[in-house]
Amino acid sequence: MNMTIAPKTVKPSHPLIEIIHQMQAGGALLPDSPENVIEVVGILKSYGIVLDAYWRNLTYISEHQFLELFPFFKYFNGEVSLNKLLKHWGHDRINYEFAEYCMKAMMYHGGGKLDAYLDTSEFRERAQQAIAAKLKGNFLMQGLSNLFPEFLPEQIRQLAYYSALGQFWNVMSAMFLSLSDRYDQGEIKTIPDVVAHVLAELVKAANQPITYTVKIGDQDYEIIPKSAGLTFLMDTGVPYIEAVFFRSFPFMGTISYNAQACQISPDPSRFNYGALYADPLPIGGAGIPPTLLMQDMRHYLPDYLHQIYRRSPRGEEDLRVLICVSFQKSMFCVTTAAILGLMPYPIDTADLDQQQTNQVYLEAWLDRLIDSRLPSLQACDM
């Protein structure tokens, strides 16, 4: 009797299986090399300086521009002068618009308990108390508020994101600057060292409360009280990575927003326009939001990184593109730290069931990164 034995079904390897093995062996999404270490640490030093300016301005807007419908001087942090105004008009300044771009991405995509809290009756009650205090004696604005009852609460929701992102970036700025200090002292030598530093700082700040209070007259109004239970990592860190690293928005001028063109998915969960996916080549072009960030970072590059860029084939001509590539490398290090921090079990567990659970977890993350810049960065040298 002839019997045909069906072959065993073998699960195909994950397309990025080598990167998974790289992480399981103690590595990171980004390969470890001296060049990558210099780029990542150098660009994060510059980014840390820029973030320090960003978070201070976001906090200023949330606390001192509360329900100001025409905040002409919101980027001045309360220090308005002719000299500063001339620099502002001449674009000799930090581009705070990019900070707002990231804030709007977080607000649009939502996620975490912050998003859920802003839809609660508690938030609405606290917002109405602040609105009543702010509009006291302003009959025109009171009439506007009565005519459009959702307008001002929505403005406060947005201001809550200003504050939350400011608090998140406050921690991240200090984290990146301390990384640079440790590198200068010889403590950071490899990409896993970078990831370990970021992971340790994320864990340290994980349960830091996210709150938001505004002062109107002589009274403080808690918009997000500590009792809301919002924390740094799960309620700002994870939503930030989701909204800014992964999803974000399509760059205007490169993709049509015309619904008939069907170039943008109507499902926001399918957006892959974040920092980990962006093509560095358009960076520097008009209308591309990350251009603002790259322009800001170019002013604070450490000399050792700037020298590397100057030795590139085009020198200073495509500096923003080179900065973008380095920045993406650094963000894959931050993403590695986030993945490890949220992993179900320790990466070096000896338990087979736990290893299998970790394997499934890593494959799910790498599934989302297949179309990102990750594969091209694996063998990308300056």
Other residues' Cβ atoms within 10 Å of the Cβ of residue 244: 20
Residue 55 to residue 37: CA distance in whole angstroms: 26
Of all residues in the chain, what percent carry a pLDDT higher than 70?
Answer: 95
Q: For 138-157, how does the pLDDT look when each residue is reduced to its tens digit (9 = 90+)? A: 999 999 899 999 999 999 99
How would residue 12 be classed by pLDDT, with cut points 50, 70 and 90? Answer: low
| Percent above pLDDT 90 for the chain | 72
Q: What is the C-alpha to C-alpha distance for residues 66 and 97, in angstroms, rounded to an integer? A: 18
Question: What is the distance between the alpha carbons of residues 359 and 364, in angstroms, rounded to a whole number?
Answer: 9
Q: What are the residue ranges spanned by the domains of the chain? A: 28-66+94-244+277-363
Check if the beta carbon of residue 169 is closer than 8 Å to that of residue 54.
yes
Task: Find the mean pLDDT for residues 305-319.
Answer: 86
Q: What is the spatial distance between Cα 131 and Cα 138, in angstroms, rounded to a whole number?
A: 11
Render pLDDT for 159-183 as a digit per residue (tens, 0 to 9).
999 999 999 999 999 999 999 999 9
Residue 231 or 316, more confident:
231
Query: Which regions of the chain does DSSP assign to beta strands (E)?
Result: 212-216, 219-224
**Rounded mean pLDDT of 209-235?**
96
Average predicted confidence (pLDDT) for the chain: 91
Average pLDDT over residues 322-333: 95
Q: Is the pLDDT of residue 9 over 50?
A: no
pLDDT, residue 214, reads 97
- Cα of 163 vs its chain's centroid, Å: 14
The pLDDT tens digits for 75-134 are: 999 998 999 899 888 888 999 999 999 999 999 999 889 999 999 999 999 999 999 999
What is the pTM (predicted TM-score) of this model? 0.91
Region class of 344: left (phi > 0), else alpha (psi between -120 and 50), else beta? alpha
SS3 for 183? Answer: helix
pLDDT, average across residues 3-31 = 72
Region class of 194: left (phi > 0), else alpha (psi between -120 and 50), else beta: alpha
61-88 mean pLDDT: 92
Alpha-carbon span 181 to 177, nearest angstrom: 6
